[in-house]
Structure 1
Amino acid sequence: MTDAIAYPKPNLLTKEDLIAFEEEIANLFNLAKIRAPIHLYYGNEEQIIKIFQKIRPQDWVFCSWRSHYQCLLKGVPREQLRQEILDGRSISLCFPEYRIFSSAIVGGVLPISVGTAMSIKMRGEQSKVYCFMGEMTAETGIAYESIKYSRNHKLPIHFIVEDNEKSVCTDTREVWNQPRLSFEEFENQEDEYITYYRYETKYPHAGAGIRVEF
């Protein structure tokens, strides 16, 4: 972890670029060309592009199983990402050379992102960590502990909570009998450690809307 390395620069992509990529992946999945789960974005392009305007080449990005947009915006070449997805790694995309990692484990990247931020602070490096999570993950204990620890120890990390009101086949608010989620108070607020936004997607939690048999 040295800042002397010339890390690839993030891609300058438009809303249309992102949507076109996900639509291509959706079509490939529906044609049974991807023999593994996929989780697609749609409807949050403007929000995520705004976040990535702050992310530099030396910064770290950690994501969950829905991470196509983050990989593209962090600088991973489109064709390289496409091939990884075709090879069945959509839910666990990791590109160390671009400092971006994802995990299919709920909350799996949270403690890793905090540990990375701790290392950055201890080494005095000029980089930062950005950790993405869904609204259901944000309601777990590991999320609260990670954010609390980061705030109290003033770590160089920022958490992004993305709320699409979908958590597998359940509604997050119904599960917890909680009409208003804990992090909604950060919507449209500037906070050093948390960004929260809601978006509506046309895709189901997993897949692309067509039942595929292999």
Structure 2
Amino acid sequence: MFFDLLRIRMVEHAIVNEYHKQEMRCPTHFSIGQEATAVGVCANLSRHDYVMSTHRPHAHYLAKGGSLKKFIAELYGKKTGSAGGRGGSMHLIDLNCGFLGCVPIVGSTIPIAVGTSFSIKQLKEDRISVVFLGDAATEEGVFYESLNFAKLHNLPVLFVCENNSYSVNTPYELRRPRGQKISDIVASFGLAVIETDGQDCDVVYGKTEELVKDVRSGKGPAFIELHTFLSIEHCGPHWDEKSRPSDFVNHWLQRDPVDLHEKKLLGEKVINEQEVSAMKLKIQAEIQEAFVFAQTSEFPPATHLTKHIFKEEYHG
């Protein structure tokens, strides 16, 4: 899992470094600091399990096995991109690995994921559906409708809440009645619920493993709330702009998921410094290749503007 954590971090740093050149013309919402939630959860999934994401999808896409080349090409708006250059950062998709997509409208993928789990159950397929959501998405009405429907029909869906304490610049405590916890609300619907640390990838993996086994075995929907931290600003390649209290930021920076995992593995002598350096070189070469692929790919022709919009006339 450390390789995946490091890879996601390095990919996003590379995007940050290139974004100012104004060649990537889509808004970007980075996952820097939240990598452990994506890696720990997706490490428990098979390639054919479904995953849906949010407006902040980079880590989820890569952790699920999405193509790096297609990802970077999509940011550049090229026809070789994962969505043919139509969507950019917030519309990544890779059906080859079960990544069904993401939408920037907060909470909008939740009912879609529940719908896919309903399909899985109806078709008796051997897979589950997983949907990532932020803490702010739990304030949308469709979240509660989806919980109710999933529980009512005992659907194979796992809800993964990445609680980073903020909705843009508004802290959690200003958006909820005092003392109200997301996990407690979800538990009232009868779902299996776990609330835990989202910065330690081993913890995320272990806790998610329990729920994935239950969901896969037919015990119904489950919910995991992972407390995490976004090291970068809400939108764009901007580091902390003092929108959050400095003591809050400093506390969480001490628990960076990539650093935590590296220190743990080095301390346990599972890996050494030379192996870490080799990983970085391998990842850097892959990133460079992906950027060259994206930058040299062609833009989609104007004729593609109307593709995948209208259903072809059916002649039955």
Q: Normalising by structure 2, what TM-score?
A: 0.58
Structure 1: 4+ residue segments shifted above 6 A: none
Equivalent positions of 1:186-201 (< 5 A) are 186-188=194-196, 193-201=222-230
Q: Deviation string for 1:164-206 (max 9, x for gaps)?
A: 1221232233133445432277313765511111112221111
SS at match of 2:167: coil
SS at match of 1:186: strand
> Comparing 96-105 with 64-73, which one deviates more in the overlay?
96-105
SS at match of 2:51: strand
- Tell me if the contact between 1:40 and 1:206 (Cα under 8 Å) persists in the aligned partners: yes
Unaligned runs of 5+ in 1: 1-10
2:68 is aligned with what amino acid?
R
How far apart are 1:158 and its partner, in Å?
Answer: 0.3
Higher Cα radius of gyration: 2
Q: Does 1:52 align with 2:75?
A: no
> Comparing 90-99 with 169-178, which one deviates more in the overlay?
169-178
2:137 is aligned with what amino acid?
T
> Comparing 75-84 with 23-32, which one deviates more in the overlay?
23-32
- Tell me if the contact between 2:49 and 2:127 (Cα under 8 Å) persists in the aligned partners: yes
RMSD between superposed Cα atoms in Å: 2.2
2:73 is aligned with what amino acid?
Q
Closer/same/farther in 2, CA of residues 179 and 86 from structure 1, 3 Å limit = farther
Q: Does 1:97 align with 2:105?
A: no
Which one of the candidate residues 26, 29, 36 is aligned to 2:19?
29
1:29 is aligned with what amino acid?
Y
> Comparing 61-70 with 143-152, which one deviates more in the overlay?
143-152
1:187 is aligned with what amino acid?
E
What is the match of residue 251 of structure 2? none
2:118 is aligned with what amino acid?
M
Q: Normalising by structure 1, what TM-score?
A: 0.84
Equivalent positions of 1:1-214 (< 5 A) are 13-87=3-77, 89-100=88-99, 101-178=101-178, 180-183=180-183, 186-188=194-196, 193-209=222-238
What is the match of residue 4 of structure 1? none
Q: Distance in 2 between matches of 1:22 and 1:150?
A: 34
SS at match of 2:183: helix
Q: Deviation string for 1:38-79 (max 9, x for gaps)?
A: 000122223321211111111100111111111112211212
How far apart are 1:82 and its partner, in Å?
Answer: 1.0
- Tell me if the contact between 2:135 and 2:162 (Cα under 8 Å) persists in the aligned partners: yes
- Tell me if the contact between 1:113 and 1:129 (Cα under 8 Å) persists in the aligned partners: yes
Q: Distance in 2 between matches of 1:181 and 1:85?
A: 36
2:172 is aligned with what amino acid?
T
SS at match of 2:150: helix
SS at match of 2:166: coil
Q: Distance in 2 between matches of 1:186 and 1:145?
A: 20
How far apart are 1:30 and its partner, in Å?
Answer: 3.1
How far apart are 1:162 and its partner, in Å?
Answer: 0.3
Q: Distance in 1 between matches of 2:230 and 2:107?
A: 22
How far apart are 1:12 and its partner, in Å?
Answer: 8.9
2:234 is aligned with what amino acid?
H
Q: Distance in 1 between matches of 2:20 and 2:179?
A: 34
Unaligned runs of 5+ in 2: 78-86, 185-192, 197-206, 215-221, 240-316
